[in-house]
Amino acid sequence: MQRPDFLQKAIISHQLSKEEIVQLLGNPQYDQALFTAADEVRQKFVGDEVHLRGLIEFSNICKNNCLYCGLRRDNLKLKRYRMSPEEIVALARRAVKDFGFKTIVMQSGEDLWFTPERLKPILAEIKKLDVAITLSIGEKSFEEYKAYKEAGADRYLIRIETTDKDLYHRLDPGMSWDERKECLVNLGKLGYEVGSGIMVGLPGQTLESIADDLLFLQDMQIDMAGIGPFIPHPDTPLKDEKGRAFELSLRTMAIMRLLLPDINIPATTAMETLHPEGRIIALQCGANVIMPNVTEGEYRQLYELYPGKAALNETPLHSKTSIGARIEAIGRKIGTGYGSHKKL
């Protein structure tokens, strides 16, 4: 299909109206034009390198009760774990020394055991490995974020999930959308590279609302955007909802690349869960990052945000060889540096 005018313009201006975004989200006939446009913009602004981040899921304990998430506190079926500081550092060491990751992503539920007093020495220890550290541990105070920054954290991931406040408050009982946004603002003030993002295909979410999300993320000038399909989890209140919006997630991600041309965009695990080549497809529709899971042993299966995720039987070794080969097979190469977002 020929590229429509407004898409051709967006490649240069990185602007799209809400109506244009809704058009792109709702019309499969634009897919080819959209995906090739996003791929071109990705190539031009961030090149062919695919940055790998080693993901450590160090605790599945969470005080929150998000309706969509398998780690929600009311899910009593889930066996909970919390790695010891030594285990976390050992996994990080292996990810760096044996597998060559240049970024370690430390993710957990909102587990109050990890206070600055406990987490700072872990960060300091990992920092000695000469890696970039990304934290993804939820909503904390300005002071706590500051403490982690000083201890060596460079980046922080906290998805806004949706900018539809009513939807957010329905799905995240007891939480406040304004406070979550404040977290993004605080992280930016503290000099973190800030990652955010959304889920696509949430019950009650409209195309208009996804368009608002994209414009919000653009407006916030975030450094990274994780966009993945919502996948219903059987042990949550949303178990009978539809979700699984693979194509719509891809479109959303591709539009994000047009709006924020030089940021880091991961090909998300949720996309791979819905399609055997989901991440490779995403890399060809605007993404430039993959976050292989380096969590080992029983813990891997227990970090079940959504079903099917744990079944990705991928070891750190597998990540470097099989994913590496697949990246090269599509004419890309594995990033050699830290893969930071350098704001233009």
Site residues for ligand 5AD per CB under 6 A: 68-69, 159, 161, 199, 228, 230-231, 233, 270, 305-306
Cβ neighbors of 238 (< 8 A, separation 6 or more) are 67, 68, 203, 230, 232
The one of ligand 5AD, ligand SF4, none whose footprint includes residue 255, by CB under 5 to 8 A per kind, is none
Three-state DSSP class for 178? Answer: helix
When the beta carbons of 71 and 183 are compared against ligand SF4, the nearer one is 71
Q: Give the separation between CA 85 and CA 119, rounded to whole angstroms.
A: 8
Q: Tell me how far apart the alpha carbons of residues 96 and 125 are, in angstroms, rounded to a whole number.
A: 13
**306: partner contacted, choices ligand 5AD, ligand SF4, none (Cβ within 5-8 A by kind):** ligand 5AD
- 107 or 319: CB nearest ligand 5AD: 107
Paired with 293 in beta bridges are: 55
Binding status of residue 290 toward ligand SF4 by CB under 6 A: no
Within 8 A by CB and 6+ apart from 297, the residues are none
Each residue 207-246 as x (binds ligand SF4 by CB under 6 A) or -, in order, gives ----------------------------------------
- CB of residue 233 vs ligand 5AD: minimum separation in angstroms? 5
Q: Does 54 bind ligand SF4 (CB under 6 A)?
A: no
Q: Are the C-beta atoms of residues 102 and 294 closer than 8 Å to each other?
A: no
Candidate segments 7-15, 66-74, 254-262, 317-325, binder of ligand SF4 by CB under 6 A: 66-74
CA 175 to chain centre: 20
Report what 123 binds from ligand 5AD, ligand SF4, none; CB cut-off 5-8 Å by kind.
Answer: none
Residue 304 touching ligand SF4 (CB under 6 A): no
- Torsion of Cα atoms, 5 then 10 then 15 then 19, to 10°: 40
* 198 scored as a contact of ligand SF4 (CB under 6 A): no
Nearer to ligand SF4, 237 or 324 (CB): 237
Minimum Å distance from CB 249 to ligand 5AD? Answer: 10
Which residue lies nearer to ligand 5AD by CB, 42 or 233?
Answer: 233
Residue 180 touching ligand SF4 (CB under 6 A): no
The first and second tokens of residue 156, run together, are 């922080």
Q: Which stretch binds ligand SF4 (CB under 6 A): 17-25, 64-72, 150-158, 198-206?
A: 64-72
User: Cα–Cα distance between 174 and 171 in angstroms, integer?
Assistant: 9
Q: Does 78 bind ligand SF4 (CB under 6 A)?
A: no
Binding partner of residue 72 among ligand 5AD, ligand SF4, none, CB cut-off 5 to 8 Å per kind: ligand SF4
H/E stretch holding 147 reads helix 142-150
Token pair 């970090």 is found at 303
Residue 54 DSSP SS3: strand
- Supply φ then ψ for residue 135, to 5 degrees: -105, 145
